[in-house]
Amino acid sequence: MRTGRKKLTIPYLLPAVSLYLIFFVGPAIYGLWISFHEWSGFTDDMKFVGLKNYGKILVDPIYWQSFLNMMLILFVGGIFVFLIGFLFTALMSQGVAAKKAIRAIIFFPQIIAPIALAVVWNYLYRFDIGFFNSILTSIGVNPINWTGPNNIMMSAIISIIWYSAGFYAIILLAGVDKIPNTIFEAARVEGASTFKIFTNITLPLIWDVMSIAIILWGINAIRLFDFLFAFGGAEPPTRMWNTAMYQFILGFGQRTPIYQLGYSSAIAVTMVMVVLLFVVTGRKLFKREVYEL
Amino acid sequence: MKSNGGNVWSALGKTFLYVWTLFILFIIGWIILASLKTNRELFEGFWSLPDSLQWGNYYTAWVQSDLASYFFNSLIVVSLSVFGIVLVSAPAAYVLSRYHFFGREFLTNAFVIGIGIPYQAVLIPIYLLLIKMGLINSFLGLIIVYIALSLPFTIFILTGFFQSLPSDVEEAAIIDGAGENTIFWKVMLPMARPGLVTVMILNAVGLWNEFLLAKAYMNVNEKYTLSVGLYQFYQSMQYNSDWVSLFAGVVIIVFPILIFYLWLSDKIIEGMTAGSGK
Amino acid sequence: MGKKISRIISILLAAVILLAACSSTSSSGKTTIKYWSMWNKGEPQQVVIQKIIDAYEDANPNVKVDVQWMGREVMSKVRNAALSGDAPDLTEQSGAEVEGALIKNKLAEPLNELLSMKIPNEETPFQDVFIDEVLPFYQQGEDTYFIPYEIISSGFHYNENLFKEYGVKPPATWDEFVEVNKTFKSKGLAPLAQDGNIDFYNAYYYYWLVERLMGPGTLVEAAGDKTGETWGQPGYLEAAKKVQELVDNKFFADGYKGSQYPAAQTAWASGKSAMVLVGSWLSSETAEYSSKDFVYKAFPFPSIEGGKGGKDQAELYLIGWVAPKGADKKAVQDFLAFAMQKKYQEGIVKDTKNISTRKDLEAPEALADFREIVVNASSFHKEYDGLQAEYPDWWKTVFLPLDDKLIFGEMKAEEFINELQKQTKDFWSKK
């Protein structure tokens, strides 16, 4: 159909494709290659060790701790983000006062720099003069050690839920808003309860949007780095590292320089595999007949 | 209505939504107030009020702690990156969506897969690459990386936009004898403006807040972006405990986004939800 | 094709050229000393060093000192830069960290000529102005890499007036120390402040107990034993038990486990707890928050009956300069000779409230005790027994996480030692 109009194909694609190859595809493949080596990063001593780094991952308690933290964010965080997201969606599609303003406000935390959020939340959680403990003590409850070793991960996840839930609620809401009002009205006339309307009408009709939102959450949750890294303070304790943090620290060091570029690359590869696994199973699980309007 | 239970739950839910919303407003207000206290006032307790507003905290953050120069670094990096992203992605997306050629499907899919790959997978290799190219600690290096890593997402969205454009205008232009370049720049690109605005907003917000890559590739102070600069400021505040200036720094990094948001909130929300809803 | 494209391209090009111009440090015949500092902008040491640099540039118009305030992660960044052949000429950090990151990896330049150079305006040879023992402490054979300018030592810090108020004297032995803790506790004051989120602050207790019980070098020995067997010796367990004793008695202030630095030390300075075991940098960090009647004092870690390490055994924690490989040695040595002048090093004492390495400079009042301990010590050990220098990976990934669990009471002493034994063995078998 567009015969004779092909001379631009290559020049228009070339910048994008070459940038993508040089700065994304190439590095990704090279990263896989590095993961089969032991390497401190100092050019000449790169040593091929095959799958040794992957074997090391299997028995590395810090890796599994970080993996657990990654999973906590992904699943515990995810469940709450979507529970709250659905609740807000249901309420807002029913109609609430000042819907537009509320929509704008609950969305906003998502676009604040995560470093700034980490600074602020860390302060809200302070044991002595933080926000939460000042509320607790004023109602006569013992203060909670929010950033204590047993709580810090949960506290971080609460903050992550706080700044994410609004965003996902609004993605879902965008799906709901596409459903014609007449369908809801018809259902109400027939006496269906709010819950029934939600499960039998809304959910099937936004199924597609929801599955994409969940996959998006998965990708973001697995690679989450900046908020947690800054939330941990000057020297984030190992027990709150997620895999992304562990990967970064092994590659770039913090105060104590650690240079295990091969091992760090192997960990990055496992993260890619987790993402792929999540996306693929997610697609399988959510695959179902889409209701066309 | 079948039962009152539904109403009670709905009222509870609404209360929760309102509290949630108010809490966000409260936090924003509290940060601004905290940034205007003295350190002593701040440590008196969470609910303390300032005697007089300490605008000097902003001076400390902006001038003495160099947030001003980080701010302008971010401004340069983000604006050039966003410009570059559009310049590179738009022609590619156009060709991918409206031309038919061998390997089109494959290329489109190859870009889409990039959306899901976490940056961690390329963090170290790109670092080594930048070193080889002499582009470490350089804005140019960071900008190129930002452009390259933003391509998958941007091309994905723009492809969708170009696909949705009607072809009659395009065909009319062909009949008028317009060249391919003219058709793209003069006819199609203006029609895709809403799409371009969307990707510019998304990338601008995302890159303004970006931390991981800037932290890894910018090692000297004078090249820090605002996120890295604020992180560094946070670290150093822990040695001299000047929390109020740190909160001023927080306001400084959030302020442009807030203004941007007040001005364009519909556009941003629409863009971000459409972007992920596609 | 449209003018638009060419306009856009020319704008982009212009921008790129502009950027390139900004990033290239063009120097015409001028020597540049690239200096990456561990201090952050605004810290007292940064101010002192900036003054030295300004004075140096005034005195040497053909030299530019290009300083970057990197913060405490500077060693990681220097090692990153060494990878790209882009290392600075001069950097600084604590001795053990410099040794672990640079000297041991042959990434530092020896500065031997500096030792006999004359310090400007003073006519004394460089090496003669230092307190004995300080300069040779990090020497490797004949080579001197590390030039210290600040002495830190760790011990218990307290407010003398507060001790008087509670009728308590600084304890000399562990048993006395435990008694003092009990006294405070019974009178309702938290005995020990601890910012639990800093793992290497938590490590002070176990490390000091091992020093006192078993003597210097024993921690490094156990860490380096590839079989892990050394941990089986009774002293290591005894030290862990003593940490557990503090935990079990709840001597640490409430909330210490999650205390985000510097919350606990700020609280300590305002009188909410009695003592804190940390480095002597504390006085300058907390000066702004201390209550009015605060008389800053410190006592060394108590000795333990039957222990092999006595109180004349001092920790020597030095902050100093090092020249990474490829540095302009001549320029760096000239600068360092200039920087060690008394009139500039006075700033370390007066402005940063720390102990200078120059023997002709008194310590700030609050640290007089510390300086005495260091000057009169019969022998020295490195901070954390030198573990950061010898086995930085083991330190960060094996020891610190376990030590956190011990001090947070999540692990009993026996379990701690068993885990150390097992994980040390695993650590080495993976190498």
- pLDDT tens digits for range C268-293: 998 899 999 999 888 878 877 777 78
B222 and B242 within one domain: yes
B237 Cα to chain C: minimum distance (Å): 9
The reported pLDDT for the residue numbered C26 is: 46
B124 and B13 within one domain: no
C69 Cα to chain B: minimum distance (Å): 7
Substitution target in C11, C18, C19 with the highest count of B β-carbons within 10 Å is C19
* Per-domain residue ranges of chain C: 30-151+319-368, 154-315+384-430
Using CB atoms within 10 A of its CB, is residue B4 exposed (0-12), middle (13-18) or buried (19+)? exposed
SS3 content of chain A, % helix, strand, coil (to 5): 70, 0, 25
Residue C10 has pLDDT above 80, yes or no: no
Alpha carbons C159 and A275: distance in angstroms, whole number: 54
pLDDT band of C17, cuts 50, 70, 90: low
Does residue A130 lie in a domain region? yes
Angle at alpha carbon of residue C114, lines to C112 and C116, rounded to 5°: 95
Closest CA to B129 of C70, C84, C237: C84
The reported pLDDT for the residue numbered B1 is: 38
Alpha carbons C233 and C230: distance in angstroms, whole number: 6
Does residue A150 lie in a domain region? yes
Residue by residue, DSSP assigns B51-84 as: SS--THHHHIIIIIT-HHHHHHHHHHHHHHHHHH
Alpha carbons A157 and A68: distance in angstroms, whole number: 13
Alpha carbons C316 and C134: distance in angstroms, whole number: 8
Whole-number percent of chain A with pLDDT over 90: 59
Helix axes of A99-107 and A152-177: crossing angle, nearest 10 degrees? 140
Pairing of strands C379-382, C190-193: unpaired
Neighbours of A68 (CB within 10 A): 14
Average pLDDT, chain C: 89
Of B140, B238, B241, the CB nearest to C19: B140
Distant-in-sequence, close-in-space partners of C77: CB < 8 Å, separation ≥ 6: B219, C36, C70
The reported pLDDT for the residue numbered A292 is: 52
What length does chain A have?
293
Residue by residue, DSSP assigns A90-157 as: HHHHH--TTHHHHHHHHHGGGGS-HHHHHHHHHHHT-TTT-HHHHHHHHTTPPPP-TTSTTTHHHHHH
Distant-in-sequence, close-in-space partners of B168: CB < 8 Å, separation ≥ 6: none
The reported pLDDT for the residue numbered C7 is: 60
pLDDT band of C338, cuts 50, 70, 90: very high
Does residue A28 lie in a domain region? no
Q: Do C262 and B238 touch (CB under 8 A)?
A: yes
Closest CA to C80 of B219, A290, A38, B113: B219
A145 Cα to chain B: minimum distance (Å): 16
Alpha carbons A155 and A146: distance in angstroms, whole number: 6
C13 vs A72: which has the higher pLDDT: A72
Residue A41 has pLDDT above 90, yes or no: no
* pLDDT tens readout for residues C148-191: 999 988 999 999 999 999 999 999 999 999 999 999 999 999 99
Neighbours of C400 (CB within 10 A): 21
Domain C30-151+319-368 part of CATH 3.40.190.10: yes
Residue B212, phi-psi category: left (phi > 0), alpha (psi -120 to 50), beta (remainder): alpha
B269 Cα to chain A: minimum distance (Å): 8
Alpha carbons C216 and C198: distance in angstroms, whole number: 23
Give every strand in the sheet of C273-279, ordered side by side: C190-193, C273-279, C154-159, C296-299
B77 and B46 within one domain: no
pLDDT band of B2, cuts 50, 70, 90: very low
B143-152, B224-233, B261-270: range with lowest mean pLDDT: B261-270
Cα C227 from chain centre: 30
pLDDT band of C84, cuts 50, 70, 90: confident
Does residue A228 lie in a domain region? yes
Does residue A187 lie in a domain region? yes
With helix as H, strand as E and coil as C, how does A180-204 read? Answer: CHHHHHHHHHCCCCHHHHHHHHHHH
Q: Do C41 and B238 touch (CB under 8 A)?
A: no
Q: Do C76 and A145 touch (CB under 8 A)?
A: no
Neighbours of C245 (CB within 10 A): 14
Alpha carbons C390 and C399: distance in angstroms, whole number: 13
Among B29, B56, B83, give the residue marking a domain's end: B56
The reported pLDDT for the residue numbered A265 is: 96
Residue B123 has pLDDT above 80, yes or no: yes
* pLDDT tens readout for residues A226-276: 999 999 887 888 889 999 999 999 988 888 777 789 999 999 999 999 999
Distant-in-sequence, close-in-space partners of C291: CB < 8 Å, separation ≥ 6: C159, C269, C270, C271
Residues of chain C contacting residue B242, judged by C-beta atoms under 8 Å apart: 42
Range of the domain at A98: 35-286
* pLDDT tens readout for residues B13-68: 899 999 999 999 999 999 999 999 998 888 888 998 999 999 999 998 998 888 99
Alpha carbons C7 and B159: distance in angstroms, whole number: 25
B223 and B161 within one domain: yes
Query: b/e map of C131-150 (b: 16 or more CB within 10 Å)?
Result: beebbeebeeeeebbbbbbb
Query: What's the CATH code of the domain at B116?
Result: 1.10.3720.10
Substitution target in A80, A120, A188 with the highest count of B β-carbons within 10 Å is A120
B50 and B149 within one domain: no
Distant-in-sequence, close-in-space partners of C99: CB < 8 Å, separation ≥ 6: C138, C146, C386, C389
Neighbours of B117 (CB within 10 A): 21
Cβ–Cβ under 8 Å, residues C104 and A257: no
Range of the domain at B205: 65-277
Residue C20 has pLDDT above 80, yes or no: no
Alpha carbons C296 and A20: distance in angstroms, whole number: 60
Among B56, B74, B89, give the residue marking a domain's end: B56
B46 and B152 within one domain: no
Number of domains in chain B: 2
B134 and B98 within one domain: yes
Does residue A140 lie in a domain region? yes
The reported pLDDT for the residue numbered B278 is: 43
B63-67, B238-242, C117-121, C286-290: range with lowest mean pLDDT: B238-242
What are C381's strand-pairing partners? Answer: C315
Residues of chain A contacting residue C80, judged by C-beta atoms under 8 Å apart: 41, 252-253
Alpha carbons B57 and A268: distance in angstroms, whole number: 40
B157 and B44 within one domain: no
Cβ–Cβ under 8 Å, residues C83 and B129: no
Domains C30-151+319-368 and C154-315+384-430 share a fold: yes
Number of domains in chain A: 1
* pLDDT tens readout for residues A142-193: 999 898 888 999 999 999 999 999 999 999 998 888 888 888 888 888 888 7
Substitution target in A127, A137, A152, A154 with the highest count of C β-carbons within 10 Å is A127
Closest CA to C202 of C264, C148, C111: C264
Give backbone dihedrals phi and psi of B277, rounded to 5 degrees, phi first: -85, -5
B80 and B49 within one domain: no
Query: What's the CATH code of the domain at A42?
Result: 1.10.3720.10
Does residue A84 lie in a domain region? yes
Domain covering C154-315+384-430, topology? D-Maltodextrin-Binding Protein; domain 2 (3.40.190)
B133 and B50 within one domain: no
Cβ–Cβ under 8 Å, residues A143 and A129: no
